[in-house]
Amino acid sequence: MPMEGMQEELLQLRRGGLYWLACDHVTVADRFARQLLAGLPAQARAAAVVAGRSPDALLDGLGSDQGPGELTVLHVPAAQIRPALENLPAELERAMASVPPLLLVSIPAAAWEDVDDSALDAWCAALRGWLERGRHTLLVLAHGDVSALCTRLFALNAHVAGLAQAYRSHGGLRYLLHFWSNGLGVQAAREFALEQTGDALTVSEDLSQAAAEATGSDQRSYLAQRSVLEGAPPLSSAWRLFEDWAALAGHAARAQASSILFAIDGNSQVEELARLLYALRRERGRALKLVVREMAPCLRYADERLLLASGATLVVPHGTQLSRFLTMLDTIHGHTWQRQLPEDFATALQDFRPPPVCGVVSAEAFAAQVHAVESGRAGRNLIHSLVVLEPMPGLNVANVLGQCVLRRDGDLACIAGPRIYLFLFACRRDGVERALDNLFRLPWRELVAGYHVIADYDLAEALRQTATDHAAAAAAPPLPAAAARDDTEAAPHAPVPLAPQCAPLPGMDAVP
């Protein structure tokens, strides 16, 4: 698997080996798969098995002049994943006249959730035996929530030749190599920061070998905005208090490894504070501890992520007791900032701000906008929720949607057949019900029979189904008017026009 900047012994796959690469998002897994296929010589033979979704996304971007001379692509429907896994060698031999030396299997991590540890161990052992007998190499690309799966696979090193994990963290993509064995030896516990160049992933930094930055002589000093201590005096001679951000930032610009403590009490201050943090981190390096304490409930999920991406070491939520806050400060002593700072602040801001569109749109526009968010810069480092609502039986779906008021940029809705689809920008799964409480005028549980959140690896298929359902429901009542901005509400029914009529009043003659 070629990757610029990484040693050959960390990438090479051996014949007869079973390797796992666990990715937290399906697009990352697809990028690794394309990079591996593109690096194969023209005389090579390979097969790719894609489970639970169309293979098109995996192959999209692979040039006709790239990859092996013979590539067999197999598709496993979602309903057939379990039997296909249980009999994978037999299924491969049945589907192909001759099994090629290299095999890729792209599969959602959720497929392994109800497989117990002993069954997973037995599956890996049997597969390893088949691979060794046939001199095949298999790379399993699992995607989705892979943390629990990696923990289980780590104990199966007797059967698994290599285990690596790709995940998004600190504003960038990380590659954690748990263990990897091949003809060049065995490697373990290596971590790298990756960056994307075109469609290829390259190593930008070897985090496991990066030299620690000098901590400086001021590592025990605290420069704090006075309100951070809730009116308490300086706690020791190591503390200096300042009235506002400007005075604090002036002294922080000369610090090396001090703890710099900012207070925030309004949402309108987020961008200004993020810009200040970015400048300090850019000028003073990684050893500085930049801490933000929320003094009033004002930070949304996206705001907190913006502050962290702009250089904050720690964001302390509102309601944290002062004693607990001071304990948290002790835990970051000696800490060096590990995130990747964006090239400029405008880029950082763009990564955490929604596109300027919201409201009710057509199913086609909904699918296009969600795809644009998933594949674009805006919100790429945030978690979003795609929610399907099932209205109560007997309720008109358009009337139910008419009770939903979308005010935030990035929030979209559409009707597809009997269902309502909502895309909630920067909304984690645990915040969906709270978001629905805010969106509906009436109690949404009285309008909606149920809802579910679509997982990332089902997203493309769900959007295609949205368009299909919309076409099938063309004879249904028309959709509410599309809302271009958050101040436009959808009206489920247009008013009936009235015609004026003359009527005589008592004591007056009628007008002829």
For residue 269, give both structure tokens.
């201050």
Query: Residue 356 has what pLDDT?
Result: 86
The answer on pLDDT for 506 being more than 70 is: no
Q: Cα separation of 171 and 204, whole Å?
A: 13
**Higher local confidence (pLDDT), 260 or 146:** 260
Average pLDDT over residues 336-352: 83
CA nearest neighbour of 37 among 75, 6, 67, 59: 67
Stronger pLDDT, 460 or 351, i.e. the higher one:
351
pLDDT score, position 348: 78
Question: What is the per-residue pLDDT for 161?
Answer: 94
Contact by Cβ (8 Å): 302, 426: yes
pLDDT for the residue 485: 40
pTM above 0.85, yes or no: no
pLDDT in tens, 392-409: 998 999 999 999 999 888
pLDDT of residue 489: 40
Instruction: Identify the band that residue 478 occupies on the pLDDT scale cut at 50, 70 and 90.
Output: low
Tens of pLDDT, residues 40-56 = 988 999 999 999 888 88
Q: What pLDDT is attached to residue 22?
A: 93
Per-residue pLDDT reduced to its tens digit, 3-28: 888 888 888 999 999 999 999 889 89
Greater confidence (171 vs 269) lies with 269
Of 380, 379, 464, nearest to 421 by C-alpha is 464
Q: Is the pLDDT of residue 35 over 60?
A: yes
Nearest to 106 by CA among 142, 76, 135, 138: 142
Counting residues of the chain whose pLDDT is more than 70, the rounded percentage is 86
H or E segment at 333?
A: none
Dist. CA 302–CA 4, nearest whole Å: 33
Angle at 388 between CA 387 and CA 393, to 5 degrees: 145
Band of pLDDT at residue 79, cut at 50, 70 and 90: confident
- Position 458 scores a pLDDT of 58
**What domains does the chain contain, in order, with CATH numbers?**
8-206 (3.40.50.300), 222-350 (3.40.50.2300), 354-472 (3.30.70)
pLDDT class for 491, splitting at 50, 70, 90? Answer: very low
pLDDT at 430 over 90: no
pLDDT band (50, 70, 90) for residue 281? very high
Q: Interior CA angle at 216 toward 311 and 258, to 5°?
A: 45
